[in-house]
Structure 1
Amino acid sequence: MESPRIASVKQKGLIFCLSAFLIAPLLGVLSPATAAPPLIQQRAATAQQPPARAKLNALRITGSRKFPEENIAALTGLRLGDMIGKEEIQAAADRLARLGTFQNVRYRFTGREESVDVEITLEDSPTVPVMFDNFPLFSDGELTQALKDAAGLFDGTAPENGTILDTMTEALQQLLEKRGVEATVERTLLAGPGEMNMIQRFQMVGVAGLKVSAVQFGDALAAESRRLAEPQRDLIGKPYSRFVAAVFANEQVRPLYLEKGFLRVQFGPAQARFTGDPRRPLPETVTLVLPITPGPAYRWGGATWSGNAVFPADTLNQFLGFAADETVNGMKIIAGWERVRSEYGRRGYLDAVVEPQAIYDDAAPRVRYAVKIAEGPQYRMGQLTITGLSLTAERMIIAAWRIPAGEVFDRVYFEDFLEEQARKKKAFGEYVVHFKLVGPMLRTNPDKKTVDVFLDFQ
């Protein structure tokens, strides 16, 4: 009769739980490098115990939705036919857990006579996109293949931490050395440009001479736009960097397309086109090519609203300001959602949440929005507290404040008041209020439905 054994390894804290292994003297909890909790599950050993070490008869990997079983198995260090004991199985689990690629590793094994079957079940960790920032001497295919060959598990993304990142960094470093490039590979986890979340950026440092001599846009709208001529100077003459190019595309080029209705415009990774003297070992400059896929220019298909009680749908549509079948100015629609939020804030609904969901019809092409609103409570003015000023100045600020206690709070007025004070730095006839900035804070009380205002003049 077979006797299954169960163990688990969890990344971040590396919690290890292990049942009895193959013989009675080894029953109990394994003592790894980090402390282990008490045994959570253990089953009776077989009547006739196998030896302390047994031949690995089968190795099964399950649970990953991203990577093939054989690729993961190759990283365990376990080979079919090898003689293994509990130390080898624990080491294999540790190895997978430390990669960072998997956030949970569980394993079980079954002994039969002088062989053992091992099953490892794991979960994929959340990953972030990988950006090859400034490797213009290499194609993306070369860089990707180098990581696949070295790390075994690479699909264009990487975990935020783990030993696999060290392996990836070293693989790129070796690629540079083979090509004779004297530079160091560094990686940084940072916020990506635009709507991207975090990214793992790999970049060369210590390499000189690769400057941007010109910018070439992959679409006529950007190429013919005069308003991009001046911003291009932020790229020209500077070191080639995909990250910098992506920031430029998001901040300077994207608004140009949004205004024309290209709401789903896509920017590919910047490409380097070499210029300069081809007889030199390395090129002196590169032309930065920015791929652009505009997509269709969308027309207005309307908005449907749910959860709104303060404003009827017609009023909310007026806040957006679009006519039927009008080309959708993407910058205007962004401002429109902010207008809706501001109107709620003007009426005391400080917790109001506006969630627009775009529904695209590329055949038309038209876009409509399904908008969910959670209005929350209406707040009224509570206390006004001022710090950092003399008693006289404090009285003058209080006298200038126009929302009395108990009245509906107006967030738009609050923001305008702060802006006015910051602009004038004095507002009370001949009396001068000296300060550098105002630290504002709103403290809401949902039970009383009041909001207290704190103004710290510094």
Structure 2
Amino acid sequence: TFVTEEAKSRVPVVFDNFVWFTDDELKAAIRERIPAFDGTAPDAGGATDTIAKALGDLLRGKNIPGQVEYTPSAELSGRNPEHLFAVKGGSLNVCALSYPGARAVPEQTLVQKSVGILSNEFSRKFVSAYAEGNLIPLYHERGYLRAGFLMPQAKLQTTPDCTGVAVAVPLDEGMAYVWERAEWAGNESLSAQELDAALGMKRDELANGLKIAGNLDAVRKAYGRKGHLTPAFTAAPDFEDAKRRVTYRFKVGEGPQYRMGDLTINGLSERDANDLRVRWSLQSREVYDASYVDEFVRKSVPEFVKDALRDGRKLGALKIENSVRLNPEKQTVDVTLTVKQ
């Protein structure tokens, strides 16, 4: 018999704000303690403690104030884990900011949109996340769907107004694309033509990434009118660089088709509630239309108020609050209308 030991997975090591050293210098210091260090470390064991000690010795050797702090990091989904090492206790304010490679979006515009970076201490992790969340949309809006920022670089800087670091965030803008077409897979309740119409993108128009993402809400609403209240979409853009065109391949998960369940009306007398109820045309077990509630409130409720007034019942202006409750087990939707006078 023999025992096979499962190898521990290895995770990238990230140096967040060691601005006094290059990454190569940091790696060399770690190799003095871990000769086989290759920029990664196991996700378990004592390697991270050893790395922290090596980095701490490096700081003390240069009389640099601060303590090394280790934080395991990952996306909310758990993907892309990292071993994050940072210096805490030193003052590393961002004094200056630049974006080498900026053309399609003026560098001045990028800097103006980066108040959150300039008002914080330097952190590679934070700068990268801020640029991704706040600046990449400026490029997607202009059709630069493959634009990306590279690793932020920082250098010590002392001026009469600021002591800290000058940060450069290089970027690769790529090219601007125009829309070729959408391709759909997994759709049954809606045809490709219906989905194209809901998406609203026309061939040869600028492939505005924000518009594409926003128009998917219209596709969701189209599915909602068919009773599919939890559709999911996976988009895979296919770039044709030679012609600067992009085709979006959408994989559709329509989800279950819901049907009308119970209608509850609160806040009215029994007579008025029954009068309003008979105007509700979406019958029990009928395929649920997510747009119907708003249509009912907009059209049927004013007619109900006018008819009540003609009968001598003055209801005044009514405020209708609605709530819907999905029952995944029965695949039904219960609707509650609460009337406030």
TM-score under structure 2 normalisation?
0.76
The aligned runs of 1:345-356 (5 Å cut-off) are 345-356=224-235
Contact 2:325–2:333, Cα closer than 8 Å, also in 1: no
Identify which of structures 1 and 2 has the higher relative contact order when contacts are C-alpha pairs closer than 8 Å and 6+ apart: 2
Match of 1:315 in 2: 194
Residue 90 of structure 2 is aligned to residue 207 of structure 1: yes
Distance 1:431 1:455, change over 3 A: closer
Output the CA distance in 2 between the equivalents of 1:154 and 1:414.
61
Deviation at residue 384 of structure 1 after TM alignment: 5.7
Structure 2: segments with no counterpart, 5+ residues: 297-314
Structural RMSD (CA): 3.9
Output the CA distance in 2 between the equivalents of 1:156 and 1:455.
59
Q: Equivalent residue of 1:247, what SS?
A: helix
Deviation at residue 139 of structure 1 after TM alignment: 0.9
Output the CA distance in 1 between the equivalents of 2:215 and 2:204.
17
Match of 1:7 in 2: 3
- Specify which of 113, 117, 120 is matched with residue 238 of structure 1: 120
Match of 1:178 in 2: 61
Distance 1:307 1:440, change over 3 A: closer
Q: Equivalent residue of 2:33, what SS?
A: helix
Match of 1:300 in 2: 179
Q: Equivalent residue of 1:220, what SS?
A: coil
Deviation at residue 166 of structure 1 after TM alignment: 1.8
Contact 1:259–1:331, Cα closer than 8 Å, also in 2: yes
Deviation at residue 412 of structure 1 after TM alignment: 5.4
Match of 1:247 in 2: 129
Q: Equivalent residue of 1:182, what SS?
A: coil
- Specify which of 311, 319, 332 is matched with residue 450 of structure 1: 332
Output the CA distance in 2 between the equivalents of 1:166 and 1:176.
15
- Specify which of 142, 148, 156 is matched with residue 266 of structure 1: 148
Residue 165 of structure 2 is aligned to residue 165 of structure 1: no
- Specify which of 197, 200, 214 is matched with residue 335 of structure 1: 214
Distance 1:328 1:124, change over 3 A: farther
Contact 1:274–1:285, Cα closer than 8 Å, also in 2: yes
Deviation at residue 337 of structure 1 after TM alignment: 3.0
Output the CA distance in 1 between the equivalents of 2:78 and 2:100.
21
Output the CA distance in 2 between the equivalents of 1:124 and 1:292.
34
The CA deviation string for residues 393-431 of structure 1, in whole angstroms up to 9 with x for no partner, is 8999996996654343344567999xxxxxxxxxx9578
Larger Rg: 1
Amino acid corresponding to residue 57 of structure 2 in structure 1: Q
Distance 1:237 1:337, change over 3 A: closer
Deviation at residue 184 of structure 1 after TM alignment: 1.0
The share of aligned pairs that are identical, in percent, is 35
Output the CA distance in 2 between the equivalents of 1:221 and 1:205.
35
Deviation at residue 137 of structure 1 after TM alignment: 0.9
Output the CA distance in 1 between the equivalents of 2:242 and 2:132.
26
Distance 1:207 1:362, change over 3 A: same
Amino acid corresponding to residue 7 of structure 1 in structure 2: V
Contact 2:99–2:107, Cα closer than 8 Å, also in 1: no
Output the CA distance in 2 between the equivalents of 1:139 and 1:302.
46
Output the CA distance in 2 between the equivalents of 1:404 and 1:142.
72
Contact 1:222–1:228, Cα closer than 8 Å, also in 2: no
Q: Equivalent residue of 2:64, what SS?
A: coil
Q: Equivalent residue of 2:184, what SS?
A: strand
Amino acid corresponding to residue 125 of structure 2 in structure 1: F
Distance 1:353 1:258, change over 3 A: same
Distance 1:246 1:450, change over 3 A: same
Distance 1:361 1:150, change over 3 A: farther
Structure 1: segments with no counterpart, 5+ residues: 9-104, 106-121, 418-427
The aligned runs of 1:376-455 (5 Å cut-off) are 376-383=255-262, 392=267, 405-411=284-290, 442-445=326-329, 448-452=330-334
Deviation at residue 432 of structure 1 after TM alignment: 8.8
Q: Equivalent residue of 1:6, what SS?
A: coil
Match of 1:365 in 2: 244
Amino acid corresponding to residue 326 of structure 2 in structure 1: L
Contact 2:20–2:156, Cα closer than 8 Å, also in 1: no
Output the CA distance in 1 between the equivalents of 2:189 and 2:81.
37
Amino acid corresponding to residue 122 of structure 2 in structure 1: Y
Contact 2:260–2:332, Cα closer than 8 Å, also in 1: yes
Output the CA distance in 1 between the equivalents of 2:246 and 2:23.
35
Distance 1:397 1:185, change over 3 A: farther
Distance 1:284 1:195, change over 3 A: farther
Distance 1:449 1:292, change over 3 A: same
Contact 1:268–1:292, Cα closer than 8 Å, also in 2: yes
Contact 1:443–1:453, Cα closer than 8 Å, also in 2: no
- Specify which of 23, 27, 47 is matched with residue 144 of structure 1: 27
TM-score under structure 1 normalisation?
0.58
Distance 1:129 1:335, change over 3 A: farther
Q: Equivalent residue of 1:145, what SS?
A: helix
Distance 1:194 1:327, change over 3 A: farther
The CA deviation string for residues 38-88 of structure 1, in whole angstroms up to 9 with x for no partner, is xxxxxxxxxxxxxxxxxxxxxxxxxxxxxxxxxxxxxxxxxxxxxxxxxxx
Distance 1:182 1:350, change over 3 A: same
The CA deviation string for residues 152-182 of structure 1, in whole angstroms up to 9 with x for no partner, is 5544444544322222222222221222212
Amino acid corresponding to residue 271 of structure 1 in structure 2: Q
Match of 1:63 in 2: none
Match of 2:73 in 1: 190
